[in-house]
Amino acid sequence: MDVSAFVAALAVVMSPWLLQNMQTSRARSFLKESRVLDGEARDAMESRALGTVSGSRHGLIAVVEEAHRMRRNALARRALVELRTLTGHTDEVYSADVFPDGKHIGTGSGDKTAKVWDVESGTEMCTLEGHTEGVFAAVFPDGQRIVTASADKTAKVWHVELGTEMCTLEGHTGGVFSASPVRNGTAVITAGADKKIILHDRLG
């Protein structure tokens, strides 16, 4: 047998072994990257991957894709860490907005109030009372005021530090579902159940 024939025969014999070896190496390499998975999930995935290398290439690809998915889910769970829970409302909370300086949060609730919270400590700074129905929205047009929208057909403007009502925005004949600051916070748009969108340019 000449050299070329010998090499060809050896390649035929070794091909399945080489393929399996390469697939095993690829599986192990990928699974090292999946160490974010917990021990039980990682062991199960490794067992499935290594058990697939002797089968079809498509089977290994399917296992690797599943490992990718599990890794993404595990990373997402790690990223979404609850820092604190703000408690104080006595009914459903419909909205939350962050103060421009990032240090305060405003919330609106079905308990007919809005609240302002300190982000760092999670403590309630003040409760804004005056609406006669639930508050669907509480937004900050600037660093001094908060605007609330309510099912009582009105929106109200409040002074954040004092916690006092500055004015009531009227015009809707149905509940006001949302409020959005415009013109750099000098005006606000409200949308209501009466199918109207109103621009209010006098915020107290």
| Residue 149 to residue 136: CA distance in whole angstroms | 6
Joined together, the tokens standing for residue 18 give 């080489």
pLDDT of 26 strictly over 60: no
Which of 121, 125, 126, 36 lies closest to 83 in space, CA to CA? 121
* CA dihedral angle for residue 20, residue 21, residue 24, residue 29, rounded to 10 degrees: -150
Percent residues over pLDDT 70 in the chain: 61
Strand partners, 198: 190
- pLDDT value at residue 12: 43
14 SS3 class: helix
Report H helices in 34-152: 39-52, 57-79
Residue boundaries of the structural domains of the chain: 3-79, 93-200
- pLDDT value at residue 199: 95
| CATH number for the domain whose boundaries are 93-200 | 2.130.10.10
Is the full-model pTM beyond 0.85? no
| Residue 78 to residue 70: CA distance in whole angstroms | 12
* 96-145 pLDDT tens trace: 999 888 889 999 999 999 999 998 888 999 999 999 999 999 999 888 89
| Residue 149 to residue 106: CA distance in whole angstroms | 12
Sorting pLDDT into bands at 50, 70 and 90, what band is 91?
very high
Plot region of 59 (φ>0 → left; ψ -120 to 50 → alpha; else → beta): alpha
